[in-house]
Structure 1
Amino acid sequence: MKASTLLRLWLTATFVIGTLLAAWLLPAQARGWAWAVGVLLPFALAAVVLAIEFLLAAALDPRAPRATAAHVLAVYAREVGVSWRMFLFEQPFRATFPEPPIERDPHRPAVLLVHGYLCNRAVWRPLLASRALAHCNVATVNLQPVFAPIDAYADAIASAVQRLRAASGAARVVLIGHSMGGIAIRAYLRKHGDEHVARAITIGSPHAGTVLGRLGHGVNARQMARGGAYMAALQAALTAAPRAKFVCLASRDDNMIIPRASALIPGTRHVVFDRVGHLAMVEDARVWRALAELVETAAA
């Protein structure tokens, strides 16, 4: 199943269930507003889930020094806003859009964007609209089915790399992966090698697993669990040559990667940000500038 289909089904089910429950529980004079409860319920559920994530992150991996309440609330509010837009609008309804035009120029950097868990290519719309990578040939890929084992995505990435190289004339591409997308890139490298990869950039990817992996649905979520066999196998398979191509972008305020240091592969270049949550990293201007610089230097 596609992420867009799953999200539309979830929105429909939440609206229907919320409306019916409100019609049953509200007093008779207020039942005409039951539909409003159905509309607002997805927003409320998303905000509650994110609040739980932030509380768990603060309890299990507190910052040193501890962040102020105002700091955490600002990061949380931004993450809620980004999540509402991405999961309730962009990804369910705007995932089908033309790929950016590819100019056949082997000297122009070629970039493949790989989304994360429960997401699709629509997550990259803000980055594409920012034109931070306007100097590049950029392509996206959808990882399907949405709850498949991560190794199943390796071939999808390989096919996308092949198409991008053929269209652009580039010998090698830069892979950029957010969250699970970075882990899928590692699965691709383990299966297909790094011959066609100039650089691999991960954004908030749980390279050593996350405690929230055990709470997620699907094989892929459980594979990203902290201390799991899958992540250990990927780590053992990362030899010196591909390791040297990795750059890990992370946030000290990540609400999904617990512990947050899990987003960093030892022995690689690290770029760490502040005051930005897990999903909001993909539309943070500081992250965009870092990506543009890293892509440019990879092609040099």
Structure 2
Amino acid sequence: MSKATDSGRRTAKSSSVGTTSSGRRPTNAAPRSRGRGSMMGRRRVSWAMVAAVAVVLILVGVIGFAVSRGGGSGAAEAGSGQVIPAAPDGPVVVAQTPKEVPDTSGISGVLAWSTEGWPADGADHPGALQHDHVAGPVRYAVTPPVGGPHSTVWMNAGIYTEPIPAERAVHNLEHGAVWITYDPSLPAKQVAALTAFVDKQSLIPEPSQAGGAADRANRFIDLSPWSGNTLPSPIVVSSWGHQLRVESPADPRMQQFVDTFRHSRSYTPEYGAAVDGIPVSTGGRPASH
């Protein structure tokens, strides 16, 4: 009996993986086949997801590289977040005190300093604003500076909500930018008014060689708080060799100053140069432009 039982068990076990007495495959065989197919399908889906993620990462890398190379109205704004231009790194330079001269713009209250000898005529002009390129920070004789020694590389012009390196901003002045600085304690409402003032100014096309990019434009205005409470007035508007000190962003002379000195053939030492196109790690990325 025990042998028959064992034989029967072996027969049943064999039938469970073969066919039934009627020649049909048992019903539990099909699910196994489907399980293997399902697993292969899941593997195919997993590989597809891996490939998709890889493509996304490659695209992110390409966009990131483009952002790091851009500035102004180009790729720099595609990035997220403001980046302050790099501070100069080198020996401290003390700027000569420029000579104050009568202003010829006709705008009431504008102060002027000597720009004699520029473009350079090879002669020494004591008291004139210097144009030297330097590596380190500069101690300027005028606050905020209206010219003088400055960084070799300029900055990407625009609106910054934190103080910016004066040495790069001065290089922008040499290229025709206007720099609006304000006391860090200025009420938020007035800061917003200054931002709106900058935003309404026209965009000016820049040379195609700037950063290797074409069809670039900028407002040629830098706006930033000053680094301390040493400004001669709550708001100061500066260009190369000229400055206007005002109490309110509603002062109509601000627009007159911008119209006269911004990107001017008469007052810009290096007219036609860009104020943009510098890699973000050096030239920064404005909060807006």
TM-score, normalised to structure 1's length? 0.22
Higher relative contact order (CA 8 A, sep 6+): 2
Bigger proportion of residues as helix: 1
Return the index of the structure with the highest Cα Rg. Answer: 2
TM-score, normalised to structure 2's length? 0.23
